[in-house]
Structures are given as C-alpha cells and as structure tokens.
Copies of this chain bind each other. A is one copy, B any other.
Amino acid sequence: MTSTTASLAHAASGGWIAPRPKLVPATRGSATKINSTAPEAPNETTALLTLFRAHAFEQHFQPGSTVLLHGDTADAIYLVVSGTIRCCTVDSEGHRQIFSFSKKGEFVGISDMDIWHFTAEAVDHVILKSIPRSTLEQELAVNMSLRQEVRAYVRALLMRRERQMLTLIIAKGPDRLYQFLKEFAATRSGTGHVVLPMCRRDIGDHIGLSMEGVSRAFSRLKRQGLIDLKSHDRFKIVEDTDRTARPRPQLARA
C-alpha cells in the first residue's frame, strides 16, 4: 500500500459498485432551461437541445455513482437536468484530475465518438437526460446546423482546457480557487450564498491543490475579504467596489 490518499481516491472514483440508474421516460415539457453562459456549453445549442427534447430519457444517479466509465463504449450523450457531475481521469497511481464540473443545462459526452476518454461521476443526486449516440450520428449526417453546433462546442472545450492549463501554471493556489469560485458562482442566478456540492478533495483535484491546500486557500480568501464563507459549503463572492483602483486583483501577502 503505497499511499492512503491514493487508495481513498480510487475508492471514491472507481472502486464502488455503481447503483444501477433507474430508467424513466422523460416527462414531456419539463422545461430544462439552458443557461447559455454555462462554462462547458458557452455557445448556442438549439439544435442539440431540440434533439434532447425529442428523444431523451431520464436517469437518476446516487452521489458517488459512475455515470460513464473511461474505456467503455460511448453509446449515449447526456444533458444534466439537475445535480452536479465531475468529469475526470485517473492515472495508474491513483492521481485524479477533474476537468470540469457539469451542472444543470450542460452536456456530457458530446466530444467522444466511440469510446469514453474520461470518467463521469455523480457528485450529489443527479438527474440526467440521455439519448443514444446513434441518434446523434444520424442527425449529424443530415443536419448542417447541428454539425456546426457540435463543432463549436468541442472547439470551446478545447479553448477551455488550454485556458485551464495556463492558469494552472501561472496562478498560485488561492488565485486558482478564487477564479474557480467566481466562475462557479456565475452559473448560479441567485444573489445569495452559493452552495458547493463537491468536497475539498474534488476542488483540489480540479484546481491542482491538495485537500489541505484548498482549505488553506479558502481561509486566506476569507481573511482577505475576497469571499464571504458562511459555512464550509456556502460562499459568496464579495463585490469589489473599486476594482479599477487596484491595478492587480492579485493576492496580498496578508
């Protein structure tokens, strides 16, 4: 046993017996409103959504269960109705990298063609709409605007990954956390406190910090008055009234 953290990560990601999701026909007209500024789907996706409205079935997932597994045949595509999904890869030594948290109105699995190149797991209780990949492929063959949408969508994913790489290298821990929180809060419409569905380790595997590092970064952001941390999973970005005054919103030594 090389490391306890590694085995823990493994247990949380792939070791569990995934609860079989119950297949339920989608309730027609259940109005899944799409936030077009959502991080993983920043473009117009009317054609894709139309596809989901026409053919989708709903699936429920327990917290921690596996939605799709790296290496399996990619025979469906998904749309998150509620809850949060983490998309990640795990290397041979148990290290995990979470590329994105997919929330309400965001797609999962659009980029792959034959085999999943990543793993998706439910963070909390998740409801998903899914349609067979064959349906997508058939429609792609005849629907020009759908093709453009999918192309723009994958291109946006690529840009996002490159931006993530850049910030991983440049920004220090607290800066990365702040960016993540700001982005996360932006997808939530309300003005009150935002609830974080994922744990510290998940956040760490997303922004490249250890669990403890995330905790320290939270404390520092709170101490500096950049966030209002009500409880360990409820926060609010403190509006910076004079952002133009300070040349760099970088972190002070405090």
Contacts and interface: CB of A to CB of B under 8 A. Distances in A.
A126 to B, nearest CB: 22
B162 A113 contact: no
B161 A158 contact: yes
Interface stretch (A32-40, A127-135, A144-152): A144-152
A169 to B, nearest CB: 4
Instruction: Give the number of copies in the complex.
Output: 2
A97 interface: yes
Please classify the interface of chain A as helix (H, G, I), strand (E, B), loop, or mixed, using the class held by over half of its residues.
helix
Given A141-B144, A168-B169, A111 B162 contact: no
Nearest to A141: B144
A170 interface: yes
A208 interface: yes
A97 B155 contact: no
A49 interface: no
Contacts of A141: 144
Nearest to A96: B166
A154 interface: yes
Interface string A114-136: 00011000000000000000000
A208 B170 CA distance: 9
Contact of A89 (B112, B151, B152, B166): B166
A170 B90 CA distance: 11
A158 B111 contact: yes
A144 B168 CA distance: 38
Contact of A112 (B91, B111, B155, B170): B155
Contacts of A187: none
Contacts of A166: 89, 91, 95, 97
Contacts of A208: 168-169
Among A95, A147, A169, A208, chain B packs the most CB atoms within 10 A around the CB of: A169
A159 interface: yes
B152 A113 contact: yes
A117 B168 contact: no
A147 to B, nearest CB: 7
16 contacts: A95-B166, A95-B170, A97-B162, A97-B165, A97-B169, A97-B170, A117-B159, A147-B147, A154-B154, A154-B155, A157-B158, A161-B161, A168-B168, A168-B169, A168-B208, A169-B208
Interface of A: 89, 91, 93, 95, 97, 99, 111-113, 117-118, 141, 144, 147, 150-152, 154-155, 157-159, 161-166, 168-170, 208
